[in-house]
Amino acid sequence: MAYVVTEPCVNCRYTDCAIVCPVEAFRLAETMLVIDPEACIDCDVCVPECPVEAIYPEDQVPEEWRHYIQLNADKAASGLPVITEKLDPLC
């Protein structure tokens, strides 16, 4: 089970969570971050770092945001760059 970035990240894109990831599972999309489910080791270290509370374990994603599970997987597989440094947020 991987962690998933959901709606609160859209148009905000804080990177605090990405810089603590020990396996570089975060990918940088235009308006948000996504987590590569193939790289995520379910360590939970990113969750408390997200200031907008956008990250959930896959089995706990709220129903209205369940489509983000596939969106994270698809975007991560599309060749987005790995993000390992802190950037200014979009919001």
Specify whether the CB–CB gap between 3 and 46 falls below 8 A. Answer: yes
What residues are paired with 55 via a beta bridge? 5
Q: Does position 18 have pLDDT exceeding 90, yes or no?
A: yes
pLDDT band per the 50, 70, 90 thresholds, residue 1: confident
Give the Cα separation of 76 and 37 in Å (integer). 8
Full set of structural domains in the chain with CATH: 3-77 (3.30.70.20)
Other CB atoms within 10 Å distance of the CB of residue 12: 17
Backbone angles phi, psi at 10, to 5 degrees: -60, 130
Whether this model's pTM surpasses 0.75: yes
* Nearest CA-CA partner of 2 in 56, 82, 53: 56
Q: Please write the tens of the pLDDT for every residue from 19-54.
A: 999 999 999 999 999 999 999 999 999 999 999 999
89 SS3 class: coil
In the prediction, which pLDDT does 53 show? 97
* Nearest CA-CA partner of 21 in 47, 52, 51: 47
